[in-house]
Chain A
Amino acid sequence: MESSATQRTDGALTAVVGNPPASAPEDRRETGVPGPSEAGPAALELRRISKRFGQVVAVRDVSFSLGHGEVVALLGDNGAGKSTVVKMISGVFAPTSGEIRLDGQAVRFRNSKQARERGIATVYQDLALVPTMNVWRNFFLGSELRHRGRLDVKRMRAETAQALHEIGLRNLSSVDQEVKGLSGGERQALSIGRAVHFQQRVLLLDEPTAALSVKETEKVFDYVRQARQSGIGILLIMHNTVQALSVSDRVVVMRHGEVAAEFAVGGDLEALAKQVNLAISGAA
């Protein structure tokens, strides 16, 4: 607990030091709690969205927002409705009622392709990359760069190397390596780096650290911190409260399909973790 608070500070410091010319999103982060109250509308805003499956109400009247350059963790027990919320945002299925807004504009996706075209990148565990293809081919998959009708291999290799370098993956031996041989953390770097490079609006990460060691998890959080600098809004689905608090600006707790509580991250993280866990279990 104590260590996680320190890690959080370290992480934030590193991010600032690593990026001296403070850009717009950086200023915003230093001025305090980011979010929809800041100038301009939130990257993503859910307004009382609900989802029914027959008789089952999987999600009920869920509202929260995600600002540009903000990291929000969505927490909750199994069955709380987290995945259902993510699937509505990513266009897998439409809400039964309620509204989804992107930069203040109400949107209605008929499928995940439409969501993707509006700048919503979703990274599902294990399904995000093609293991048999190399790093740069994965990075540009579906958005290949072409020069006179043929793949611009040279540029794609260089841009991939640069994007991975920027996101903080510095020790990859080659972008010609098959993804099969990458560690879980390196794969996340690839997915996150891709979302940033293609200037997506919102990045949805479903349990990005589920199968990772502590060390790798810390690295993935560094990628997330780095990605946030670009102004992308990041929604993390997590189940580990302490980990979630170490990387996010806010946490939204879901229980029985509803938002049970919302917390701004700051101050005594150990005490906050206790509060969050109480909200998750329903004792609060």
Chain B
Amino acid sequence: MMHCTMDDVLALAAGEGSAWARQHVAGCPACRAELEALYQRVAQLKALPVRRPARDRWPAVRNAVVAERRRRRERWGVSGLAAAAVLAGLLVFRPFWTKPVDAAELARVKEQSATLEQQLQRYDPNGRVTSGRSAALAAALEDRIAVIDGELAQLGPAQAQARPADLVTLWQQRVELMEQLVSVHVTRAAYVGL
């Protein structure tokens, strides 16, 4: 007698068995046992214990992300100045729906941000021994700056024009955070005797 192949049994389990296979399995104890064994294997596989990683890989992910953001921010710092000039022009020449003061303020905070960025580049974050606390503080500030950069990136040119005040606020926040970051690095440098 011809029995079901494993393909037939799998198809039956998936509810896609051929007419022949369905009829055969109804009258064949061996093939029914085969189907039952398949169900059991699948059930046992599903019930296998969940394994957990022995090591925490989040710090590695986090470090890679922070490093990527820092690189992006450095590029942003340079191109930011050019963008500021363009945007300032845009805002000045459309005075009906925006306050010119926004443009001036925007240009000012962006320039401030770029200056701070240059200042920060003098402090190589990996180059010297630091206290864990200031390193953690610097990392926390960098995270917050990265969040603001994310928001700035999401504010496309169209939205930026429509909401100049938001843009200025974000840049102001960025400058504040960067000032804090610089002061952390300055303190740190003093601490290690630089």
| A and B together in one complex | no
A interface residue numbers (CB < 8 A to B): none
